[in-house]
Amino acid sequence: MKKVITYGTFDLLHKGHVLLLQRARELGDHLTVVMSTDEFNSIKGKKAYTSWEDRKLILEALSCVDKVIPENSWEQKIDDVKNNEIDIFVMGDDWKGKFDFLNEYCQVVYLPRTEGISTSKIKEDLKAIKKDVDRLSKKLEEDINREY
């Protein structure tokens, strides 16, 4: 059996996440997803919209995902590969070269990202929408106050 592993936060699950996970799973017979915990995200200066437990539940519902385990530190990758008897380590190509040190333990594959979608873009779009709503709400309140 060929085992594959990948890492991520998987916040606001979208098409790009699903396609990456499906392509990773196609490389082997078993896919382990190592997902950043809320505490590790905090160390990285990030905050996920969805809790680790909820993100885990969502990932486990995908047919291409066989196992979800926590990512607590940058340093755990070698141990994860060894302890889970991993054959292939997969990441998006925006990380190209960053994990080549794992070639000593398994094959490292960088898959192309899905164009036009990312969690960062979704969050930016939501912030812009909120800004527009706040501006329109303020204008409406001013208009109402002017009429009365």
What are the catalytic residues? 44, 46
> Tell me, what amino acid is at 111?
L
Torsional sign, CA 48, 95, 24, 125: positive
Residue 19: Cβ-neighbour burial (10 angstroms; 0-12, 13-18, 19+): middle
Read off the tokens for 144: 């109402």
Q: How far apart are CA 80 and CA 143, in angstroms?
A: 59
Contact by Cβ (8 Å): 90, 109 = yes
Q: How far apart are CA 57 and CA 44, in angstroms?
A: 23
Our CA angle for 115, 118, 120, nearest 5°, is 140
